[in-house]
Amino acid sequence: MIEMTRNTFQDREWSVKVVGLGGAGTHALTRLATDGFAGGDLIAAHTDSRSLNLCPVPTRLALGQRMTRGLGVGGDPDLGRAAVEESQEALRGHLEGASLVLLMTGLGGGTGSGGAPRVAEIAREMGAQVVVLATLPFSFEGRRRAEQAAQGLAALQRAADLVICFENDRMSSLVDSSAGVEEAFGVVDSLLAQTVASLVSMTHRRSVMHSGFDDIAAALSAGGASAFCGFGRAEGENRVRQALEAALQSPLLGGYEALQRVSGLWISISGGSDLRWSEVQGVMEELSQRLPASVRLFFGAVVDPLLVGSATVTLLAGACAGLPVQVRAHAVSVPEAPEPMPVLPLESLQEWKSEEDPSAPLDAEVNVPEFEGAEARAEIDSSEQAEPVADSNPSTPPQEPPATPEPEPAAPQGGGLRPRTSPDLRRDIGASFLKRRLLARNAEATARAEEAQLAQNPARVRQSIQSPEAAAPTEVESQVAPQKMVDAPAPKPPQGDLTSGLGDQRGAGSAASTHVAKSKSTVQEQMRFEPVSRGRFEKTDPTVVDGQDLDVPTFLRRRISLSNDVSGSSQGH
Amino acid sequence: MAKDQIVVGLEIGTSKVAAVVGELKSDQTIRILGTGLTPSRGVRKGEIVDVETASRCVRDALADAESVSDVDIRAVFLGVSGAHIKSCQSRGSVLIPEERGEVIAEDFEQVQESARQVALPHDHVFLHTILQHYYVDGQDEVLNPVGMLGSKLEADFQIIYGARTRIGNSMRCVRDLGVEVTFPVFNGIAAAQVVLNADQKNAGAVMIDMGGGTTDYVAYCNGAVKACGSLAVGGDHITNDISIGVRIPMARAEWLKVEEGSVLTRGEAAEGRVVLKPEAGFAGCVVDRITLNTIIACRVRETLELVKRELDQANLLRYLGGGLLLTGGCSLLEGIDEIAEEVFGFSVRLTHAHAVSGPTSAFENPQLSAAIGLIKYAQAIQPTETKRSVRKFLNKLWPLR
């Protein structure tokens, strides 16, 4: 798996081309160019010639000029694909001689969703390895864009060697709430750019411990298209450890807790020539100790002369198949089923549906005002990405509003991206796109048969609101969508246990827990104890063995139910 | 120390600070002169989190011990613990010059030095380099190679190391009081000195010291330390589990654990209820014993399983004919030996410090195993210290020898 290479002449035959396709792609490419990326040729390709001209790279390719007259494809993937077909020859000319093509694109629009698979096909036909870094649209951008993104992603998976996905929803947590829209997207772009840069440097530079795309592909294979990415950089005495911490703190990854649920992990550590073996060893030992034994670990170390005195750590993690994952409110239709689908317990599906069900009176009442905000924000996003606006919302059925809104009403302080709190993002970690699709589809199918029961669900929701712990006088919104746990493979704990766990969280009294409850989602149950249950050990280093936090009571972790209701007896006394 | 033969062992534990003053007798026995015991604060999971507070507790404990034993404490053997303490196996080797062709005592130091050429994690320091066996020219398990003919001396060592800053914090607590630290010693190694006897060490045995914040374990095989470590889980976790499971404050949970705690989830011990009387600021509570015991049993079982796994990874489980010896505060839990036997599948004994004399209450208390062990440890390393100084002295007299 790990080989020692001393081939310094590798560069001569190794040619990297980085293609930024569509609005999001060219933006990320712009960032890469301004960061001084020198690892390969940069090629910008877009159907909208106006925004293409804003990209400062020397090689710019206007796609489908005859067909679109440089005005873009209006969010139509078919047009996007046709535009690429039209400009095929020019594209082939630019990609000539590439051994590795890194394609950055934003899925959901026309150029990205329709064009990217075709570009990947072309690059592969020309004998290059194709790695795609794709962003998925914000959930508030609407159902149609999500569907297009899903179709585009499925096509990309067939066409490319490796697809690394970034969910914009999770990216938004990278950004400070007070940040401007431009700054917010800047952060997203720079993350894409950093990932590209470290991918290239890993495979391109003289590496002490070589780790190539075969390793990345292996690390991410079980996760389908989805990868969690973390990047950290630090200087000084303890730099490797700090860089690792920073990478783990990356909201896209979500710390050690998230790593419990990955199946494969690719780690690249780069440092200057002063990178010490003991630093690397110590950090790797610590990391591997904190990971479950089942995680496949792929490791590479690179010496980069420019990094003297500092170190960077890049993590790519593939989610584990068959894991309980978050279900987003918007359902995404899938063109085909790539894997056998996990079967969810009936009860959890009902709950899932109860959250999504637009006809639930409580939901509707609360969410309608939110949706207006969301619409406005979707526009901001679209114009920023220089893609036509009108595609998403009109196609969304009018009775659907509660299905889309993720943002909460309190957010819009100028920033187009909503602020997120840490529990919120932790909860998001497990949301691998592929599994979301599977769950969503699974849920849709079952839901049709369960309509009668659905009508009673709002009542159930209210019931759980009335549980003593949840009765804290917070806003109604926070109680409307109480956290629901879905755990596909494991049996669900009894309802009483569930609410008491929730109650503990609320008991902590943090504003964060209200936040968690606000967004409409289904959550892994492991996380619910996290905010409070470390009790006395709150401020100490967690004792983590095999990815389990031993400070959390054993009976909670092993879900051993205690025979008597202790709270009842203590109250009764 | 060598003059008056009085040694002080100090253990800054998570639940209590224990200072034990002992007298090293010429016949290799130990007499306890006095103990000082104060509840500990500012310590979590065996590590100091608040130096000032912990230092105050240490002062109280030392003052108690001084007044009971009538000894002026100047230096202590300091017990350290915590999850940062790890161990590894290392072999050192040294070539014997051809013209000599024979192993001499000086080679021991060199072979030890060469064994210490292991890459420790950043900012970690050596605590102990414990000899296991010598090899002369590949000949196995030589006990005393001095005078043997050969060209190469090798030795296996168990190297125990820990984080510099964390050990430093413990030492600072003591030094702030004007008391010197002779040596920092891993608590597990210290406790094993008094808990395990020579037979058990030879037959292979494991000692588990379940304390307040950590669970330290040391496994002996063929008379040598083969594995040891510290798990940052202990009685504190049990208390915390009870507090969360039963929803009572930590202080009540601690009382419940100490007074009523048991790991038996079947039979009489698990029947009935415990009533916590209402007091000011506490509404009172009735707890089913089965609930309480289940919470404790889950934790204890898990902790023992983790230790077992460590031993399994070191391939030691088959070589522990001497069985398992449990000590530390948690060994006072009712039925813990049964659960340990279930987990490990071989004989388990609850135990405390042996081979010492003095007030029975001191050495029969399993909570004091580590602190008394520190004195035994001091005794164990003393002869080499003396020998070395004598040798140095002789070297000075005849430098050309």
How far does the CA of residue B221 sit from the closest CA of chain A (Å)? 26
How far does the CA of residue A201 sit from the closest CA of chain B (Å)? 26
How far does the CA of residue B199 sit from the closest CA of chain A (Å)? 33
The per-residue pLDDT for A48 is 85
Q: Give which of B125, B210, B244, B310 to mutate to test A binding, by max A Cβ within 10 Å.
A: B244
The per-residue pLDDT for A279 is 79
- Span B126-171, pLDDT tens digits: 999 998 888 888 777 777 888 888 888 889 999 999 999 999 999 9
What ipTM did this prediction achieve? 0.83
Model confidence at A465: pLDDT above 80: no
Nearest to B156 by CA among B70, B254, B226, B249: B226
User: What is the share, in percent, of chain A residues with pLDDT greater than 70?
Assistant: 49
Q: Which of A159-163, A528-532, B318-322 has the lowest mean pLDDT?
A: A528-532
The per-residue pLDDT for A173 is 64
Q: Give which of A562, A563, A567, A571 to mutate to test B binding, by max B Cβ within 10 Å.
A: A562
How far does the CA of residue B122 sit from the closest CA of chain A (Å)? 6
Model confidence at A449: pLDDT above 90: no
Report the residue from A282, A540, A567 with minimal CB separation from B121: A282
Q: Give which of A286, A497, A533, A569 to mutate to test B binding, by max B Cβ within 10 Å.
A: A569
How far does the CA of residue A264 sit from the closest CA of chain B (Å)? 23
Cβ pair B122:A278 closer than 8 A = yes
Query: Which positions ≥6 away from A311 have C-beta within 8 Å?
Result: A233, A234, A235, A239, A240, A243, A269, A270, A271, A272, A275, A279
The per-residue pLDDT for A206 is 58
Q: Which of A51-65, A502-516, A554-568 has the lowest mean pLDDT?
A: A502-516
Task: Name residues 247-306 of chain A within 8 A of B (Cβ).
Answer: 276-279, 281-282, 285-286
The per-residue pLDDT for A57 is 84
The per-residue pLDDT for B172 is 92
Report the residue from B240, B246, B250 with minimal CB separation from A566: B246
Using a CB-CB distance cutoff of 8 angstroms, which residues of chain A are in contact with residue B250? 535-536
Instruction: Determine the Cα–Cα distance for residues B260 and B232; give it in Å rounded to an integer.
Output: 24
The per-residue pLDDT for B383 is 62
Closest chain A residue to B299 measured between Cα atoms? Answer: A554
**Between the ranges A51-55, A441-445, B171-175, where is the mean pLDDT highest?**
B171-175
Closest chain B residue to A285 measured between Cα atoms? Answer: B121
User: What is the share, in percent, of chain A residues with pLDDT greater than 90?
Assistant: 0
Report the residue from A278, A554, A566 with minimal CB separation from B299: A554
Cβ pair A556:B294 closer than 8 A = no
The per-residue pLDDT for A169 is 72
How far does the CA of residue B370 sit from the closest CA of chain A (Å)? 22
Alpha carbon distance, N-terminus to C-terminus of chain B: 30
The per-residue pLDDT for A1 is 54
**Between the ranges A144-158, A202-216, A446-460, where is the mean pLDDT highest?**
A144-158
Instruction: Give DSSP secondary structure letters for A550-571.
Output: TTS-HHHHTTPPPSS-HHHHHH
Instruction: Determine the Cα–Cα distance for residues B237 and B343; give it in Å rounded to an integer.
Output: 19
Cβ pair B231:A541 closer than 8 A = no
Q: Which of A32-46, A297-311, A410-424, B63-77 has the lowest mean pLDDT?
A: A410-424
Q: Is A553 on the interface with B (CB under 8 A)?
A: yes
Q: Give which of B164, B241, B266 to mutate to test A binding, by max A Cβ within 10 Å.
A: B241
Cβ pair A537:B83 closer than 8 A = no
Banded model confidence at residue A362, pLDDT cuts 50, 70, 90 = very low
Banded model confidence at residue A308, pLDDT cuts 50, 70, 90 = confident
Q: Which segments of B107-251 are extended strands (E)? A: 124-136, 139-142, 152-163, 180-186, 205-210, 215-221, 224-231
Banded model confidence at residue A257, pLDDT cuts 50, 70, 90 = low
Cβ pair A573:B283 closer than 8 A = yes
Whole-number average pLDDT of chain B = 88
Greater confidence (A442 vs A571) lies with A442
User: What is the share, in percent, of chain B residues with pLDDT greater than 70?
Assistant: 94
Cβ pair B278:A573 closer than 8 A = yes
Using a CB-CB distance cutoff of 8 angstroms, which residues of chain A are in contact with residue B287? 566, 569
Banded model confidence at residue A258, pLDDT cuts 50, 70, 90 = low
| Mean per-residue pLDDT, A143-162 | 85
Banded model confidence at residue A71, pLDDT cuts 50, 70, 90 = confident
The pTM score is 0.56
The per-residue pLDDT for B181 is 93
Residue A464 parent element (H or E): helix A457-466
The per-residue pLDDT for A455 is 44
Write down the residue that tokens 């068959």 correspond to. Answer: A322
Using a CB-CB distance cutoff of 8 angstroms, which residues of chain B are in contact with residue A504? 244
The stretches of A486-527 forming alpha helices (DSSP H) are 495-507, 511-518
The per-residue pLDDT for A208 is 62
| Mean per-residue pLDDT, A56-76 | 81
Closest chain B residue to A569 measured between Cα atoms? Answer: B286
The per-residue pLDDT for A7 is 46
Q: Which of A81-85, A436-440, B136-140 has the lowest mean pLDDT?
A: A436-440
How far does the CA of residue A105 sit from the closest CA of chain B (Å)? 41
Q: Which of A104-108, A369-373, B111-115, B193-197 has the lowest mean pLDDT?
A: A369-373
Do residues A151 and A411 touch, judged by C-beta distance below 8 A?
no
Interior/surface letters A81-92, b for 16+ CB within 10 angstroms, e for the rest: bbbbebbeeebe
Report the residue from B233, B241, B250 with minimal CB separation from A543: B233
Do residues B379 and B6 touch, judged by C-beta distance below 8 A?
no
Whole-number average pLDDT of chain A = 63
The per-residue pLDDT for B119 is 80
Cβ pair A555:B290 closer than 8 A = no
Report the residue from A543, A551, A569 with minimal CB separation from B285: A569
The per-residue pLDDT for A489 is 41
Nearest to A253 by CA among A207, A195, A181: A195
Q: How many CB atoms sit inside 10 A of residue B277's CB? A: 8
Query: For chain A, how many residues are written?
Result: 573
Q: How many CB atoms sit inside 10 A of residue A348's CB? A: 20
**Between the ranges A215-229, A557-571, B5-19, where is the mean pLDDT highest?**
B5-19
Using a CB-CB distance cutoff of 8 angstroms, which residues of chain B are in contact with residue A279? 122
- Span B49-90, pLDDT tens digits: 999 999 999 999 999 999 999 999 999 999 999 999 999 988
How far does the CA of residue B69 sit from the closest CA of chain A (Å)? 35
Banded model confidence at residue A333, pLDDT cuts 50, 70, 90 = very low
Crossing angle between the packed helical segments B289-313 and B250-260, to the nearest 10 degrees: 80
Using a CB-CB distance cutoff of 8 angstroms, which residues of chain B are in contact with residue A496? none
Banded model confidence at residue B297, pLDDT cuts 50, 70, 90 = very high
Using a CB-CB distance cutoff of 8 angstroms, which residues of chain B are in contact with residue A558? 298, 302
Report the residue from A504, A536, A560 with minimal CB separation from B294: A560
Using a CB-CB distance cutoff of 8 angstroms, which residues of chain B are in contact with residue A278? 119-122
Cβ pair A551:B250 closer than 8 A = no
Residue A187 parent element (H or E): helix A181-204
Q: Which of A48-57, A502-511, B27-36 has the lowest mean pLDDT?
A: A502-511
Banded model confidence at residue A2, pLDDT cuts 50, 70, 90 = low
The per-residue pLDDT for B167 is 94
Cβ pair B240:A555 closer than 8 A = no
Cβ pair A566:B291 closer than 8 A = yes
Closest chain A residue to B244 measured between Cα atoms? Answer: A533
| Mean per-residue pLDDT, A200-209 | 65
Using a CB-CB distance cutoff of 8 angstroms, which residues of chain B are in contact with residue A570? 246-248, 283-286
Do residues B73 and B364 touch, judged by C-beta distance below 8 A?
no
Q: Is A545 on the interface with B (CB under 8 A)?
A: yes
Model confidence at A566: pLDDT above 50: no
How far does the CA of residue B329 sit from the closest CA of chain A (Å)? 19
| Mean per-residue pLDDT, A338-357 | 39
| Mean per-residue pLDDT, B296-307 | 94
Report the residue from B44, B248, B295 with minimal CB separation from A537: B44
Greater confidence (A398 vs B73) lies with B73
Q: Is A561 on the interface with B (CB under 8 A)?
A: no
Q: Which of A364-378, A558-572, B112-126 has the lowest mean pLDDT?
A: A364-378
Q: Which of A257-266, A467-476, B344-353 has the lowest mean pLDDT?
A: A467-476
Model confidence at B32: pLDDT above 80: yes
The per-residue pLDDT for B10 is 95
Report the residue from A276, A536, A566 with minimal CB separation from B287: A566
Query: Which positions ≥6 away from B4 have C-beta within 8 Å?
Result: none
The per-residue pLDDT for A323 is 34
The per-residue pLDDT for B141 is 72
The per-residue pLDDT for B229 is 93
Write down the residue that tokens 């504190």 correspond to. Answer: B236
The per-residue pLDDT for B336 is 93
How far does the CA of residue A573 sit from the closest CA of chain B (Å)? 6
Closest chain A residue to B302 measured between Cα atoms? Answer: A554
Report the residue from A241, A504, A563 with minimal CB separation from B288: A563
Instruction: Determine the Cα–Cα distance for residues A359 and A347; give it in Å rounded to an integer.
Output: 19
Greater confidence (B183 vs A500) lies with B183
Using a CB-CB distance cutoff of 8 angstroms, which residues of chain A are in contact with residue B278? 573
Closest chain B residue to A241 measured between Cα atoms? Answer: B122
Task: Name residues 499-528 of chain A within 8 A of B (Cβ).
Answer: 504
Q: What is the largest CA-CA distance in chain A?
A: 82
The per-residue pLDDT for A459 is 43
Nearest to A559 by CA among A573, A546, A548: A548
Q: Which of A129-133, A325-329, A337-341 has the lowest mean pLDDT?
A: A325-329
The per-residue pLDDT for A282 is 78
